């Protein structure tokens, strides 16, 4: 996969009846992030996915993740109500009211057949501290006005499997660098 950066946009949060604007840079840089996008707040599958990530938060954090974020093409008032209704404490809910972030991810689909307008297809990411996507998974069949809502490739379990693989690969790469340097030193060769 080619390196992909997350879209640079402003998120509009509602706190104490005031609009707070946070940039993508402020929210993602310096933090390893798991991000998942859902078609809509309060929908049955999206709520199940949100609660699944809330339950798996400790395991995900133990694998070197600083934050877990859920994005939906809904406004800040709706996302606040969904967070309160779901009772989440660890997963942060992000409103993409204008859909610009979702558009930047190329995840926008029409859900007009359900009266929902433009929404996000279900997608999940692991993003490093520099805002570069380390891993991404998209549910099969991304298309406009789908009658189904697949949920197999963006589950907390799939993210945990991907994190374990990424961490193992990173550890192996670090070990390989050490081994090569040690072998060069033992052979009396100084790396340039």
* Per-residue model confidence as pLDDT tens digits over 95-140: 999 999 999 999 999 899 888 889 999 999 999 999 999 999 999 9
- Identify the architecture of domain 10-186 in CATH: 3-Layer(aba) Sandwich (3.40)
Half-sphere exposure of 79 (CA within 13 A, CB side): 23
Alpha-carbon distances, residue 77 vs 20, 81, 175 (angstroms): 12, 6, 48
Residue 64 has pLDDT above 60, yes or no: yes
The helices-and-strands tally (H runs, E runs) of the chain is: 5, 9
d(CA 26, CA 22): 6
The partner residues of 121 in beta bridges, in order of sequence, read none
Helix, strand or coil, per DSSP, at residue 37: strand
Q: In the structure, what pLDDT confidence band is assigned to residue 177 with cuts at 50, 70 and 90?
A: low
Question: Can you tell me the mean pLDDT for 167-183?
Answer: 74
* Letter string b/e over residues 76-107, b meaning 16 or more CB atoms within 10 A of that residue's CB: bebbbebbeebebeebbbbbbbebbbbbbbeb
Rounded to two decimals, the pTM is 0.86
Q: Domain limits of the chain?
A: 10-186
Which residue has 């610009």 as its token pair?
100
């Amino acid at each position: 996969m080619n390196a992909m950066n997350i879209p640079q946009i402003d998120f509009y949060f509602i706190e104490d009846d005031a609009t707070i604007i946070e940039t993508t840079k402020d929210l993602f840089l310096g933090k390893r992030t798991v991000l998942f996008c859902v078609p809509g707040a309060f929908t049955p599958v999206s709520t199940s996915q949100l609660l699944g990530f809330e339950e798996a938060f400790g395991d995900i954090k133990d694998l070197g993740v600083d934050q877990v974020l859920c994005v939906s093409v809904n406004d800040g008032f709706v996302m606040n109500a969904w967070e309160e209704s779901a009772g989440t404490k660890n997963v942060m809910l992000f409103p993409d009211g204008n859909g610009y972030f979702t558009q930047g991810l190329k995840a926008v689909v029409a859900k007009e057949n359900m009266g929902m307008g433009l929404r996000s297809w279900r997608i999940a990411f692991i993003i490093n501290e520099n805002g570069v996507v380390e891993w991404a998974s998209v549910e099969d069949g991304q298309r406009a006005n789908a009658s189904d809502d697949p949920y197999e490739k963006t589950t907390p379990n799939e993210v945990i499997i991907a994190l374990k693989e990424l961490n193992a690969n990173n550890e192996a790469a670090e070990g390989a660098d050490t081994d090569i340097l040690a072998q060069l030193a033992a052979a009396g060769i100084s790396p340039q």
